[in-house]
């Protein structure tokens, strides 16, 4: 499905592919939409938590070095 969307994007102008994406999205069953939204949200949450954890760890190291 992702490959088909990429092909559509490459073939059409920016206005066109946006319409195609919306059309494809609304043609999906509601349950599948919900699953996709949850999956995307979960992935974004994971990325954010990893970034925050890294930043916090760096700050702790700096504090330890300062003492």
Q: What is the pLDDT along the chain (67 residues), one digit of tens a residue?
A: 677 776 766 665 566 666 777 777 777 777 777 888 899 999 999 999 999 988 888 888 888 888 7
pLDDT of residue 12: 59
Domain boundaries, the chain: 2-66
Work out the burial of residue 56: count CB atoms within 10 Å of its CB; fewer than 13 is exposed, 13-18 middle, 19 or more buried.
exposed
Taking the model in full, what pTM does it have? 0.45
pLDDT of residue 16: 66
């Amino acid at each position: 499905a992702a490959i088909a969307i990429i092909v559509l994007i490459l073939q059409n102008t920016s206005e066109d592919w946006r319409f195609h994406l919306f059309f494809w999205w609304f043609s999906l069953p509601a349950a599948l939409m919900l699953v996709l939204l949850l999956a995307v949200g979960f992935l974004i949450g994971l990325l954010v938590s990893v970034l925050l954890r890294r930043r916090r760890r760096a700050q702790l190291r700096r504090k330890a070095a300062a003492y």
